[in-house]
Every structure is written in C-alpha cells, then in structure tokens.
Amino acid sequence: MAMSQATAAGPRRNRVLNGILVNGTLALICLLWLVPLLGLLVSSFRERSDITTSGWWTVFPHKSYISAKQDQLTKGLALDKPIQVEGVSLTDDQLRAGYTLPDGRKLIWANRRARIVDVQTSQWTTKANFTTANYQAVVLGQTYTYKQSDGSTKTEVGEDMSKAFINSLTVAIPATVIPILLAAFAAYAFAWMRFPGRRPLFAMVVGLLVVPSQVALIPLLRAFSNLHVNGTYLSLWLVHTGFGLSLAIYLLYNYISGLPREILESAFIDGASPFTIFLRLILPLSVPALASFAIFQFMWVWNDYLYALIFLGSTPDTQVLTIKLANLIGSRGQDWHLLTAGAFISMILPLVVFFSLQRYFVRGLLAGSVKG
Amino acid sequence: MIHQTRDAENKRASSAATSGWIPGQFFAGLLGVVVVIALLWAGFIYLRAARSASILNAIVAIIWGVGGIGALFYVSNTLIEALPQKSRDRIRPFLFFGPGVVILFLFLTIPTLITLYQSFFNNDTTRFVGLSNYIATFTDRSMLESFRNNLIWLFLGTGFCVSFGLLIAVLADRSKFESLAKAIIFMPMAISLVGASVIWRFMYAYAPADQPQIGVLNAVLTSLGLQPQSWLTLQPWNNLFLVAVLIWGSTGFAMVLFSAALKGVPGDLLEAARVDGATEVQTFFAIIIPYIQGTILTVTTTTAIGTLKIFDQVFVMTGGQYGTEVVGTEFYRQFFTNRNFGYGAAIAIVLFIAISPVLVYNLRQLQKQEGF
C-alpha cells in the first residue's frame, strides 16, 4: 500500500512538470502569435505623435525616466567647458547623451540653446493616451490635427475607407452566394447519377482544385475586355464564381455522396423526381456543408487582392478594401495611425465571421483538404 | 403538401411513360428556357452597366445569379420531364452538372489551353516563337532570382508551417487551454494577406539608431545594444522576413488539420505503447507520425502550392524590389506592366508544371476511391 503510493508520486510529479512544460511552451507560442496583432490594435487607438515617437508597448506600465524638475543654467553659458549642474561637473556631450547620477537621477538637456537641463527620475509610467481620431479619419474621412516635433500643429485629411468597405461587401456577398446553387446541382449529379463522362469530368474538377489561377488570367482578362465587363463588379462575381466552383463542387460532393442511401431510395420509391429530391432532401440535408463553403468563400473573396487588382482595378469609386489598404501602404506608408486603423477596419468583418462561425469554417477546411 | 407534389409527379410520370412525351409541357418548358436565358442576358447587360456600389446592385446580382440559375434549372427540368422516360433519364444528369461544368470549362479549362497556346507566341500573340519564351524564363536573371526565392518560400515556408503546426497541435492536444490556443494560432487565417502585410511592416518598422524604435524587432535589437536593421531591404535575408508573414498566417491551417488528425489516433494504441514503456518521443515518432502521415502529406502539398503561388505579401510589402521577386510578382509584372503576354503565359505555364505533381497525385488518389 505504502509502496504503491511512493511509486505513484514519481509519475505524478512528472505529469505536473509535463503540464508546466506543455502549457508554458504553448503560452509562449501564443504570445508570439498575438504580439503582431496586438501592436496593430493598440497603435490604431494611439495618437499620431505618440505612434511615431514611442513603441506601442509603452502603453503598458514600464519603468522610464520622467522629468522631475528643470534647472535653468546661466544664459549663454560656454558649452566647451565643464558645466556645473546638480553638484557635478559634466561636458556638453555627456548632457546630450544623458548622464546618470549615482543616486539614479538622470541629467539631460531639455533645451540646449536655452541652457535648460532636465533632471529625471526613474519611475513606473504608462503612455496610455487613447483616441478614436484614427478611426474617425479612416471611417468618416475626417481631418485630423496633430502636433509636429517642432511644436506647430498640422491638419491633414484622413482616408475615407467606408466606401471601400461597402464595395467589398458588394463584391463578396454575390460572389459567395452564386456558386453555391450551381455547385450543389453538379455535386448531386456526380454523387448520385450515372452518366457517360462522369469520371473524366469529376477528375477535371479535382484537377482544377490546384491549378494556379494565373494560367487562366490572361485569356480571361482579354475575353472580359471584349465583353466590356472589365472594371465592373460583374467581372469579379463571375471570376470568383468560376474559380471557387471546383472547390465548391468537390466539397459538396464529399458531403452529398456521404448522405445515407436509404433516404434517397425511399424517396425514389415514393415516385419523387430527382429535381424534387434535390430541393426537398439534398439541399436541406446539406446545409452544414453549404454553410462551410459559404464561409470559406466569403473569407476568400473578402481577403482577395490579386483578382480585385486585375479585374476591378483601383478606381476610387469601385476599389475594395484590400486594394485601398495596399494603396495606402504605397502612398502613406509612414502614416501608421491611418494604416493601423485602416487594416483593422479591413479585418473586423472576417474576424467576426471567424469567431462566430469558426466551427463551420474549420469543417469546410477539413472537408476541403483531408479527403484530398 | 409533399404528398400532393409526389402524387402529381406520379401521375405525370405515368402519363409520360404511356404516351411517350407531353407536347404541351415540352413547349412550355422550351419557352421557359428561352425566357430565362433572355432574362439572364438582360441581367448581364444591366449589371455590366452598374458601376456604382450599392446594396441594391448586390441584391440584384444575387437575384440574377441565384434566382436565374434556379429558374434555369427549373424550366429545363420541366422541359425534360415532358420527354419519354428513356431520354429523360439520359438527359437529366447533363442538366444537373451541365451549368457548373460549363462554367469550369469557360473560366479555367479553356483559358488554360489558350495560355498554353499563347506561351509559344510573341508578346502580342502575332508571331510563333517556339520555345523562346520558355528559354527566356529559365535564363532571365530576374526570373532566376524569382525561382531561387520561390524555393526559399517553398522549403522554409512549408517546413516551418508544417512543423510548427504539428508541434502546436500536439501541445494543444495535451493542454487544458486547447481551444483558446488553437483560436489564437488560427486567427490570422481570417486576416487578408494585405492586412497581414500592414501588421508585419509595422513589426519591421525601422528608424535610425538615434531615434526611438517603433517596430518590435528593432526595439528588441536596440535594447540588446545592437544596431537597428532595415529588415525589408536587407538582402538576401529580407526573403526570410517575408516568409515569416506566411508562417504567421498559415501555421493555423496546418495546426487545425493536424489537430483533427490527432483526435483520430486510437487512445488504446497510445496506452499500449505507454504500458510497454515507450517514451513520449518514441510514441510520437513510432505511432503518431505514421498514423497521421496522410494528413502530413495533404498539409504539406497544400502549403507548398500556396508558397509557389505567393503574390500578395511580396507585392504589397516590397513590390518585388530588393531581391524579393517571386514567380507570382514576375508574372504580374510581365503581364500588366510590360504587356508581354507570351512571356507572362510561359511563366504561368511553368508555375502550372511546378504544381502538376500534386495534381497527378490527387488524381491517383481519386482513382483509388470507391465509386470511381
């Protein structure tokens, strides 16, 4: 009895150790994954001047030198000789770089020309000044005013992204919904009907899953320009329908072919036509698979950059969020207050969809690749 | 309600079986098909002209796409239901899979063939040039650089995504915080690559040594007493920093698939191994890895294809400058900037050939599948 307890203590300690190791490593990796996103989110709520002069992590409590008082030296004091300040004698260079006294205080020029020295003490501090001005600038296109390093204020116009947001919605919703019905009909035929050419045609569907869309872009673009659909939403709806269809058929085929045969057979015996069976049985039963594909496709279309760039272009009236954001990087690459807020605006909807419908999204992913 | 329809269909089926075909219904169906096609065309013309983003146009597009296709299926079904039993059964599958497969042909299969054809012609497809576009593809300096970079993407990107994904999946499987950790790692999947580019440009932000660093990486460097680096222009290492964006974004995909596969490893098998005194590491390599090797292959090929097609990050973050050009950006530049269609087509075909082993493998797998 006593012996078995003694031997059990070893594994238990091991298990605790293992648990710490596992959770510790996992926590570290998660932190690594969160830091980039956290930086973006925090910065999008900081003022422009704060973003450019201090790291976003300074919003968290940290130790830093804070000005305690300022010493006004004699105006016009010679700087090439040792300078007497706070009881020590320092050179100009030392005061420029900042000199730490034995008691922990730091002496540094506050204004060299006016001969003012900053006496700083190390304190716990935080730079947590938050503002929604960045979001007002990117959502409403409002102007914003900020202090420049020389103290003067400057007013600039923001970047209105609300139109791009509407454009993205206009592209994404039809491009998600249109392929579904087409794919469901085809998947049903491949799963439950026998016809000549079924094998090669389905092989084509599977083959097209991995075909890089680049091979189709040049002829498509030419055909579209002959049909005068380039630069319209219609072109993107069609392209996303065409390119998303193979995945949709394949995904729905996997699901529909797995439906129990008995249900379909009993419906056949009752005399229902395949069309009725499709509408009354297959579609309602396939809702989980349809939802999985819909979420997958919505995210894909919303986040797409290449097709939007090629077919819709960057006309201000029609450009979608990804295009707008990419252009913003090009034209205002250092305006981090706009970029961070704008990036967050562009990802808010997919993130909401992701967190509310994660289960369906993962299911779509699994069906789409594991069975491959 | 359902019974009524079934009865009606029974009657129709029996009358069709006796009298061969039903002329009235046939012509009504034919008329319906003509009307629906005319309406689809009218919708096409209307939507082509609709260049403003409005919810109304999006709704019209959904009605046009979904309603139009639904109506087309309905009227053509009416049409074939009027035919004699034998021809009805023969034609019906074509009605179901037809529209989807036709769209696949129009948007992917035929354009791919045209691209193949164009790749043997000069830049405006007026003169046959044989293999010279392909020769140029493999001799041009900037193309060779792209190939080298794509190999970096392929090996490092895929390697890290797969191994990190597996590591995190295994750790999460043993942790109490599994769903939280998985959600965090998976979250970047919801973010567009353009959005991720903003996030990482901010991580890599550079300021001269005497100014405060606002990018996390340079802040870490300077706090260690090192010089800040301009990461995205630092050749050839900048490729690795671009790959990091992919790893951050795509590891979640690998992790989710591995996590699902790990759940399928039978518990008694692992228990038996533990009873036999196998260590965790031995169990992992001797049991878990062989058990999930199918998933490992799927994840590896899917991620590898993604790295070969890479475009967004590179185009947005460096524009292919500073030695970061990849095949995707090179294709875009030849095609759009230089209007060199033949060369662009050859690059696309090379990309296709690079991916084709996966295509062949998928088709082989399909052949083994039951029912095919």
Three-state SS annotation for A58-109: HHCCEEEEEEEEEEECCCCCCCCCCEEECCEEECHHHHHHCEECCCCCEEEE
Burial class (CB in 10 A: 0-12, 13-18, 19+), A90: middle
Q: Does A247 touch chain B (CB under 8 A)?
A: no
What pLDDT score does B24 carry?
Answer: 80
Min Cα distance B122 → chain A (Å) is: 14
Whether A224 contacts A311, CB under 8 Å: yes
Contacts of B365 in chain A (CB under 8 A): 372
Min Cα distance B58 → chain A (Å) is: 5
Q: Determine the Cα–Cα distance for residues A363 and A371; give it in Å rounded to an integer.
A: 12
Amino acid at A9: A
Whether B34 contacts B87, CB under 8 Å: no
What pLDDT score does A319 carry?
Answer: 86
Q: Does A14 touch chain B (CB under 8 A)?
A: no
Q: Any bridge partners for residue A144, and if so which?
A: A156
Residue from B164, B214, B363, B366 to probe the interface with A (highest A Cβ count within 10 Å): B214
What pLDDT score does A149 carry?
Answer: 63
Q: Determine the Cα–Cα distance for residues A45 and A337; give it in Å rounded to an integer.
A: 8
* Residue B154 tokens, joined: 């392929």
State in Å, rounded, how far the first CA of chain A is from the last one.
54
What pLDDT score does A150 carry?
Answer: 66
From B164, which residue of chain A is nearest by alpha-carbon distance? A29
Who among B185, B192, B298 is closest to A346 (CB)? B192
Say yes or no for a CB contact (<8 Å) between B194 and A185: no
Tens of pLDDT along chain B (372 residues)? 344 444 445 545 444 444 577 788 888 888 888 888 888 888 888 888 876 656 777 788 888 888 888 888 888 888 888 888 888 888 888 888 888 999 999 999 999 999 999 889 888 778 888 888 898 888 888 888 899 999 999 999 999 999 999 999 988 888 888 888 888 998 898 888 999 999 999 899 888 877 788 888 888 888 888 888 888 888 888 889 999 999 998 898 889 888 888 888 888 888 888 888 888 888 888 888 888 888 888 889 888 888 888 888 899 888 878 888 899 898 998 888 888 888 888 999 999 998 888 888 888 888 887 555
Say yes or no for a CB contact (<8 Å) between B93 and A57: no
Contacts of B167 in chain A (CB under 8 A): 29
Chain A contacts in chain B segment 130-159 (CB below 8 A)? none
| Domains of chain B as residue ranges with CATH | 2-101 (no CATH), 137-342 (1.10.3720.10)
Whether A15 contacts A309, CB under 8 Å: no
Q: Does B262 touch chain A (CB under 8 A)?
A: no
Hey, is A309 helix, strand or coil? helix
Contacts of B54 in chain A (CB under 8 A): 166, 170
- If we measure between CA atoms, which residue out of A362, A294, A321 comes closest to residue B185? A362
What pLDDT score does B113 carry?
Answer: 92
- Cα A244-B155-B143 angle, rounded to 5 deg: 75
Q: Three-class SS string for A230-258? A: CCCHHHHHHHHHHHHHHHHHHHHHHHHCC
Give start and end residues of each alpha helix (H) in chain B. Answer: 2-19, 23-49, 55-62, 68-81, 85-104, 110-118, 132-139, 141-152, 158-173, 178-186, 193-203, 216-223, 238-263, 267-275, 280-283, 289-291, 293-308, 312-317, 327-332, 341-368
Say yes or no for a CB contact (<8 Å) between B298 and A227: no
Q: Which long-range contacts (CB under 8 A, 24 or more apart) does A262-266 make?
A: A264/A192
Say yes or no for a CB contact (<8 Å) between A232 and B51: yes
From B106, which residue of chain A is nearest by alpha-carbon distance? A242
Looking from the CA of A328 toward its CB, the CA atoms found within 13 Å total 28
Whether B332 contacts B311, CB under 8 Å: yes
Pairing status of strand A88-90 against strand A99-100? unpaired
Chain B contacts in chain A segment 96-125 (CB below 8 A)? none
Say yes or no for a CB contact (<8 Å) between B309 and A214: yes
What pLDDT score does B305 carry?
Answer: 87
Chain B contacts in chain A segment 143-162 (CB below 8 A)? none
Chain B contacts in chain A segment 42-101 (CB below 8 A)? 43, 51-57
Who among A181, A189, A270 is closest to B70 (CB)? A181
Q: Determine the Cα–Cα distance for residues A265 and A260; give it in Å rounded to an integer.
A: 9
Q: Is the peptide bond before B236 cis (omega within 30 degrees of 0)?
A: yes
Tens of pLDDT along chain A (372 residues)? 344 444 455 667 777 888 888 888 889 999 999 999 998 888 888 887 778 778 888 878 777 777 777 777 777 777 777 777 777 777 877 777 777 877 778 888 777 777 888 888 777 777 777 787 788 887 777 777 776 666 677 777 777 788 888 888 888 888 888 898 889 999 999 988 888 888 889 989 888 888 888 889 888 988 988 888 888 888 888 899 999 898 889 888 888 888 888 888 888 788 778 888 888 888 888 888 888 888 888 988 999 999 998 888 877 778 889 998 888 888 887 788 888 888 888 888 988 888 888 777 777 776 655 333
What pLDDT score does A269 carry?
Answer: 80
Hey, is B327 helix, strand or coil? helix
Contacts of A30 in chain B (CB under 8 A): 180-181, 184-185
Chain B contacts in chain A segment 126-145 (CB below 8 A)? none
Contacts of A346 in chain B (CB under 8 A): 192, 194-195
Please state the φ and ψ torsions of residue B264, each to the nearest 5 degrees: -90, -5
Min Cα distance A177 → chain B (Å) is: 7
Say yes or no for a CB contact (<8 Å) between A53 and B212: yes
* Residue B4 tokens, joined: 């009524």
* Residue A223 tokens, joined: 């055909």
Say yes or no for a CB contact (<8 Å) between B62 and A174: yes
What pLDDT score does A30 carry?
Answer: 92
Min Cα distance B153 → chain A (Å) is: 16
Beta-carbon contacts below 8 Å between A and B: 374
Q: Does B275 touch chain A (CB under 8 A)?
A: no
Whether A319 contacts A313, CB under 8 Å: yes
Torsion, Cα B259 B264 B268 B272, to 10 degrees, reads: -60
Residue A287: other Cβ atoms inside 10 A = 12
What pLDDT score does B16 carry?
Answer: 45
Say yes or no for a CB contact (<8 Å) between B355 and A210: yes
Strands annotated E in chain A: 62-72, 83-85, 88-90, 99-100, 106-111, 116-125, 144-147, 153-156
Torsion, Cα B116 B122 B124 B125, to 10 degrees, reads: -50
Q: Determine the Cα–Cα distance for residues A182 and A184; give it in Å rounded to an integer.
A: 6
Which ipTM was obtained for this model? 0.85
Say yes or no for a CB contact (<8 Å) between A36 and B203: yes
From A58, which residue of chain B is nearest by alpha-carbon distance? B214
Q: Does B289 touch chain A (CB under 8 A)?
A: no
Contacts of A241 in chain B (CB under 8 A): 65, 103, 107
Q: Does B348 touch chain A (CB under 8 A)?
A: yes
Q: Determine the Cα–Cα distance for residues B370 and B372; give it in Å rounded to an integer.
A: 5
Min Cα distance B252 → chain A (Å) is: 10
Please state the φ and ψ torsions of residue B328, each to the nearest 5 degrees: -60, -45
Question: Domain residues of chain A, as ranges?
Answer: 2-44, 62-125, 162-369
As a CATH number, domain A162-369 is: 1.10.3720.10
